[in-house]
Amino acid sequence: MSITYDRNTEGLPLVHKFADQVKGRTFLLTGPTPGGIGAETVISLAAEAPATIILIGRSLEKAQPTIDTIGKVNADVKVKFFEADLCSFKTVRKAAQAILDDAEIPKIDVLINNAGVMATPFKITEDGIEHQLQANHLGHFLLTNKLLPKIIAAGSGARLVFVTSSGHRYTGVRFEDPNFTEPDSYHEFGAYGQSKTAVILYAVALNKRLASHGIRVFTLHPGGISTNLQDHVKALDPARVAKVMDDVSERVMGRSLAEQREAEPWKTLQAGCGTTIRAALDPDLVKEEGIYMHDTVLVTDPKWIKEWATDPELAEKLWKLSEELVGEKFDI
């Protein structure tokens, strides 16, 4: 099956193309909220008969419509749901342990860290961490590292996929003050950019640690898709939104928001999950250079991926900071 890889590449055709990478395998995804990229990803995967789809979300009630749709696509797919709030290390540890203890889950072939928030008001979580940093990075750092025994059990060819964002180009990690304790230092998109840079640096560090197992890690920008991810932005004062979003667009995309929307209109959900699905399934990606995907292709051009997100020394620095913030060391 010949498919052109670009911003319009849809997820379902890729699932069919790489059907042998789906059938009988176990997939885990965070953030299965209906109407989002995560839900579209697992619903598409169901079309080619994975053995098990594991979903992690804040409540079964919110995830149930996604579970029901998977059942309609393929009633033979086993779906397991585990409740966890990425902004609560206690619940993440509980969910991870439940998955490790589940004899019906001997391995995890593909883990997709999809859940996230964007441009939320300043908030410190119950664990004392800035909200976006914990929701987008640290919750996944803890969950993924805890689940590594079952990912490694899948053997060579297992894969980890982290949904990040072009927003990483806004700023790097504030190593000296990641929680924005300095007065008046918080900026919704500064915190978002930090968290998404952290996602990529974590992937760089993890890729190095898992190389001997034949396991690869990829990160990706899914593109502009209108979902509930933008709810906090929509709630901002309209006058401020216009100013802030133009500034963000200039720093991230190099053009005004209006110019960006004209050049790249909103993607559909199917096109939005296309990059995730290629990252999860395409066996030939391991032959290419890079860790970051944009519009379904791996890219290394600094226009798309900032050096502050791929620097190996910063990746190790981020790993150590993340261990300190979650209160646990991981010798991988």
Please report, as a single letter, which amino acid is at residue 151: I
In a domain, 75, yes or no: yes
Whole-number pLDDT of residue 228:
59
Catalytic residue among 5, 186, 202, 292: 186
The 10s digit of each residue's pLDDT in 101-130 is 999 999 999 999 999 999 899 999 999 999
In a domain, 201, yes or no: yes
CA distances from 158 to 5, 280, 298 (A): 22, 9, 18
Q: Which of 37, 42, 96, 46 is nearest to 223 (CA)?
A: 37
Contact assessment for residue 202 and residue 217, using Cβ atoms and an 8 Å cutoff = no
Whole-number pLDDT of residue 88:
98
Full residue range of the structural domain in which residue 245 is found = 11-325
In a domain, 331, yes or no: no
Query: How many Å apart are CA 153 and CA 144, to the nearest integer?
Result: 14
Summary count for the chain: helices (H), strands (E)? 13, 8
How is residue 164 annotated by DSSP?
-
Contact assessment for residue 108 and residue 150, using Cβ atoms and an 8 Å cutoff = yes
pLDDT at 221 over 80: yes
Contact assessment for residue 97 and residue 150, using Cβ atoms and an 8 Å cutoff = no
Tell me phi and psi for residue 26, to 5 degrees: -110, 125
Residue whose pair of structure tokens reads 């995309």 in the numeric block: 253
Query: How many Å apart are CA 48 and CA 257, to the nearest integer?
Result: 38
| Position 325 confidence tier, pLDDT thresholds 50, 70, 90 | very high
Strand order, beta sheet including 52-57: 78-83, 52-57, 26-30, 110-113, 159-163, 216-221, 292-294, 297-299
Whole-number pLDDT of residue 31:
98
| Coil/strand/helix, residue 311 | coil
Whole-number pLDDT of residue 91:
98
Contact assessment for residue 191 and residue 123, using Cβ atoms and an 8 Å cutoff = no
The 10s digit of each residue's pLDDT in 8-20 is 999 999 999 999 9
Contact assessment for residue 193 and residue 119, using Cβ atoms and an 8 Å cutoff = no
pLDDT at 89 over 80: yes
In a domain, 135, yes or no: yes
Active site residue 186: yes
| Position 172 confidence tier, pLDDT thresholds 50, 70, 90 | very high
In a domain, 167, yes or no: yes
Percent over 90 (pLDDT), the chain: 86
| Position 43 confidence tier, pLDDT thresholds 50, 70, 90 | very high
Whole-number pLDDT of residue 266:
79
Give the CATH number, domain containing residue 272.
3.40.50.720
pLDDT (mean) for 287-308: 96
> How many distinct structural domains can be found in the chain?
1
In a domain, 177, yes or no: yes
CA distances from 166 to 113, 195, 199, 221 (A): 16, 12, 12, 6
Whole-number pLDDT of residue 235:
62
The 10s digit of each residue's pLDDT in 236-285 is 666 666 666 667 767 777 766 667 666 677 799 999 999 999 999 999 99
- End-to-end CA, the chain: 38
Q: Which of 44, 108, 104, 53 is nearest to 76 (CA)?
A: 53
In a domain, 170, yes or no: yes
In a domain, 4, yes or no: no
The 10s digit of each residue's pLDDT in 141-169 is 999 999 999 999 999 999 999 999 999 99
Contact assessment for residue 142 and residue 312, using Cβ atoms and an 8 Å cutoff = no
